[in-house]
Each structure stands twice: as structure tokens, then as C-alpha cells.
Structure 1
Amino acid sequence: MSVRDDKDSLKRTPLYDLHLSLGGKMVPFAGYDMPVQYPAGVLKEHLHTRNSAGLFDVSHMGQIALRPKSGKVEDAARALERLVPQDIVAIAPGRQRYAQFTNADGGILDDLMVANFGDHLFLVVNAACKAEDEAHLRAHLSDTCVVDSLADRALIALQGPKAESALTKSCAAAPAMKFMDAGPHIVAGLACFVSRSGYTGEDGFEISVPAADAGHLTKTLLENPDVMPIGLGARDSLRLEAGLCLYGHDIDTATTPVEAALEWSVQKSRRSGGARAGGFPGAEKILAHFDHGASRRRVGLRTEGRAPVREGALLFAGSEGGEPIGRVTSGGFGPSLNAPVAMGYVPTRLSALDTKLFAEVRGQRLPLAVAAMPFVKNTYKR
């Protein structure tokens, strides 16, 4: 296949033409032609999001409605609990929760957001996994639920300290929303689904909008001088500073939620001794990790120098000799910190804060230390 043929095979979001008009540099990502940056560049886009408001096209993500055949949203919630270790029944109407699909070995098939819209559940899943996720839901939940792929909707994210003021001009309900509130709202006269959440560590919103109206809504928000279009490059550096996992890199089918330091996402009701403990794929292994610990753990890493440590770099306990004890799964330069940041997996016995380790970079071992995450304090509106 030629480069041109490969380019032509990529899918496009409803905002593709707008990206081109804004000078977006397009690259392949999860089967889509997506903007990695705009003329301002990754550094300025990153800092603008931290200081003002950044607008992201995340329409490549999967949006799914899980509708209970009984008409009772509790039945859809109980059904979804067959596939995730989270307490879905406890999500109140108008609220949202982070979750993971797990496999029989306790590994993570995908991570997702689950919102209770009162009469059904609204799910947002990762772009690279959405076809498999939909098939997984249909294979296991079709007895009680209708799985409705919302392919006719776009998704945009508005993130940063000025996101609320920017959205309020188009959505009167925005100021009253708290972190992880979610539901139908009118935005710029359009029927949208809005959640107060995001992937940057900043306060912000994700807005699901009919695909045909995505361009109009995006242009309306960009009319605000506080709002700048942001590409995938800054999205990645922002989420890394926030200590947030990227599926397929920091979490995967061979990693349990406990190994990934995501214990906080599994409520006590689904753990050992809880009212509804277990009952999800891989429960035996995951609950054993809760009870007895896992042999490895995802940790934050900070280097002593200025050289970034990238994904794939091997980690060692000493400066010379010895076998690798772990691997970096995400790494790069943190513009907000003006310093490199990374995260990766190490033996649990070496996961304590300030533990000294070494990363192999271009044949040399660079000193680093286990560091607390997030690297940049989050600003969610609680």
C-alpha cells in the first residue's frame, strides 16, 4: 500500500475541513486524520490550555447509548457491571464515572466514561477500541440492553481555567455543573450532551453534538479570544502532566487496575467483602491484587536532568549492570513544569516516592526518581 493510499483510507471527523482552514497539521491517529498541532505549535497550545481555554476535536472517540429493554436504567447499570469492576448502579442521574472493561485475566480491554442520563447510560470509549467495545457490549448485554452506536455525533472538549466562562456564553447551565456532572443541555441553541470532565487535569467540559452541527458550535466557541484550537500533541503532554493513562501505552490487556494504580476507580461495593463484590471478568485476579498486592505498579518518574525519557526506555535499579526492572510507558517534556516527566511500571518494592532508578537512553543510564502524580495539580471544580 502506498503512503497516498494509506492516507486516503483514514477516516475524517466532521471537523476535518475546519482543521485544514485553521492550519492544522494532520497526522494518522487511531484510524483517523487528526490535527497534531496548529500554527501556534504544541508548546503554546499546551500553555494556553493551562492558562486560558483550549478546544479539542475528540470526535474520533466512540459514543454509545446503553438502553435498558425494561425501561429501568438500573437494569442497564446492573448489566454493565458484568463487564466492569466499578459500581455503576450507584451513579446518580446526571453524574458520570470512570471505568474499565476487563478481560478474564484481569487485564484492561479499554477504559471508558459512563454517565447516567436518567433513562439510559451514555458511554464514551477510546477510538482504537470502539468497534471491539461495541461488539463486546452486544455479545454480553443484548439480553437486557439495546446497544446504540451514536456515530452521528461529534465530540469536542473545552479545557482550561477559562472554559467555564467561554461555555457559559452558549450554555447557561455550565456554571452550575460540578466535576463529573453530565447530561443533556442546550449549547448555542443545539441539543447536546455535556459533561464537566476532560483529559488535561484542568477544569473543563466535553460536549457531544450532532455531527451536522459540530462545525457551527466549534466556530462559535472559537470566536471567544480566550479559546484556541489544540491538537493531539498538546493533548498528550497535558494528560501526561496530569498523570492520566493512555490506553495501549500505560494500560492494556495485560495490566490490571491495581497494577495501573487505578484502585481509586473501583468502589468498595465491588471489592472483597463488598455488597456486590466480583461478578466481572478477571475478578479473582483483580480482587487478589486488592487483598495481597500486585508485583508491579505504575509510577510517576522525574529525571534529574533536562533530557526527556521516552516511552519504551528500560528502567534499572543501578547505574551499571543488572537486568531491567521495568519500562517507561509514557514520557516527554512537561511545558508547565519546564522539565521532563514520565511514567512507567516498576516492581512494587521499588515504587515508593523518591526511590532512585535509572533509565537507559541512547546507551547511557540517566538517573531518575519515583515521583508523585499528578505532576501538575488538577483544577477540577468539585
Structure 2
Amino acid sequence: MSDLGLELGHEKKHRPRRGLGCLAVLLALAVLLGIGYVAYSYGMTAIKDRLAGPEDYSGGGTGQVLVEVQDGDAASDIAATLKDKGVVKSVQAFTDAARKDSRSVGIQVGFYEMRKQMSASAALAVLVDPAHRMRSVVTVPEGFTVDQIVATLAKKTDFSRKQYDKVLARPGSIGLPSYAHGNAEGYLFPATYELPPNATPRSILTMMVDRWSQAAEDADLTGAAERLGYTPAQLMTVASLVEAESNRDADRGKVARVIYNRLEGDATNHLLQIDAAVNYAFDRDLGVALTTEDLQVDSPYNTYKNPGLPPTPIEAPGDAAIAAAAHPTPGPWVYYVTVNLRTSETKFTESYDTFLKYKAEFKEYCRTQSDAC
């Protein structure tokens, strides 16, 4: 075969390969064009979205939804809650609105009744107005018994006395300390409570016990009991007696000391002789004056007949009374007499003769200045 034939044959073999190369180039070009188009479209959409702003509803919305702002929530946290509840359309819309309104830093913790599909600005307007915060406030004074506390809660909430009593009949779910032995007396802390809209009798009573736990921790109740040689339960009983016997901060520590001195000394045969405890035995107002017949009642709460502490607290002590029981004022006193009911002036002594003088002073006050004795 001639050299020409060999060259021609060689050229025929390579022509198809050149065709495939062109096709590959065309396909690559098409892919690049497609990617470019997608990128262009996406970029234009993003630009349009940015120019148009975040997604947002218009108007004041419809329906009702309960929203809670929790302690420590930032604007972004509140925005996330609102979006999850269907109130606003996007987190960004609300955070943008909050950023533009200085009042947003003052949004209060609590519950708000809002609407679904509200504009971010409308949602913010609700939250920055404290009048829209749902509030249900109940105040339980110091010195109330469980019976009085339940009566107050039944009056101030939408739940009946029977519903509270049902929870107290199974007290394991409200967080009482083990040494309370299921008796809530003294452990439903007296305070002002703001109740959430979803509160229940159990959650309300639990809230009160939790607040007692805080007071006990603040006073180092457990450590104080060990230091003083008593149990935490006994210190709570002392605290309830202090609450019943004194309403002046300057006197509470002294009253606590008198109780401990009587328990530990021989001057009064370990008899506390506290009227409020006897009244508790009768299930009546703890401030009622006792009769001679009352002093004979057969009850472990009769501190005129039974030495030592009553078996349980007799009422709910507040912070000051718990602190006094845990940290009594040093002193030798064994007696005290409130000589003026209007000012609550109380005098303390270790002398029985001086005690009798104070009693005479009180009787003279009752004769000349008061008919409330």
C-alpha cells in the first residue's frame, strides 16, 4: 500500500473523535449556562426579597392565642415564640420592628392574649403595653392557717375549696419537705402571687411551697436546726409561734429566744404557755383571749398543759419569723408581755416578779386605753 493510503486511513480513524469533542463542549456550555441562569434567578429573588423586606402579615390578626414571655427572653426569643404560635409570619419581621421601637426593651414577663396572623408592628404594640399583660394576683397574709389560706384562694381564683382540699389530701405532688409528713400547715408561704392563666390548684399550692423553700434556704433552716440542736420541722413550729406572738421586727428574735429558753430551762417547767397554740386546738382565730376553761382542753397544742413544742406549726410564718427562729437574739429572757396593743410594744424579762409588773401594766392599758383586750 502506498504511503498516501496509510495517511488517508489514519485520518479516517480520527474524524469521529473530533465530533465527540465538539459535543462535549456544547454540553458543558449548556450546563454552565443552566447554572448561570439558576444563580441569576436565585440572586434576583434574594435581591427582590431583601428590597421587599421580611415576610409579614398585615393588620391586627384574627382569633385568640396565649403567648408567654419568659424571664430572660430577648427580642429574638419572643419573635421565635410568636412565630411558633402563628402570631407573626417571620422572626425577622418582629425583630426588625422591635429594633426600631425603644419600648421593646421594656416588655414585661408574663402572659398576653394575642391574635393569629398579626403584623409584626401590631404584635409589638400589644407586648409593649403593660395593660395587655394578663394578671391574676392573690395575697396571702402572714399568720394564716391552711384553712384560712384555702378560703382565700377559693375566693380569689376560679377554683373551689373542694378542689384545693383534694390536692392537699394527696400532698406528695406539691413539694412538701419529707419532715412535714404530708401536713401543709406552715409550709404554704404567705406572699403576693401573680398567677398565670393556666394555673391549677396543684400548681398554685406548689408555687407557695416553692416560695417557702426559698425562705428556708435564705434562713439556712437546715444548718440552723443542726446548730441549735433541733430538727428543721421544730424550727418551723418555732417560726409559726413567733409569727403568732410578734409583729415587730425588733421583737421577733427575742420571742424566739424566749421559746428556746423555756424549752431548754427549768424556770417554767418547759411549758411555753402560748395562747395562739391553744386557740389552734379549737380551730378558731389565734388571737382570741383564753378562758380558764380553755386552758384545760385536752390537746397536744395546749402549751399550758403539755411541755415542749406543739406537734406542728400553727400558722404560716413569713421570712422574718423563719429568720428569727433560725437566728434567735441572744438573751436570758423567759417572759414577755405586749403592754400596748396599738403600738405592739413588748417587754421582755427573766424575772417572774418583773413579768407580773408588766402584766399589771397591760391590764391598766386595757382598762384605760383599749377595749380590744
Decide: shared fold, TM above 0.5.
no
Greater percentage in helix: 2
TM-score category (smaller protein) = under 0.3
Larger radius of gyration: 2
Greater percentage in strand: 1
TM-score (norm 1): 0.23
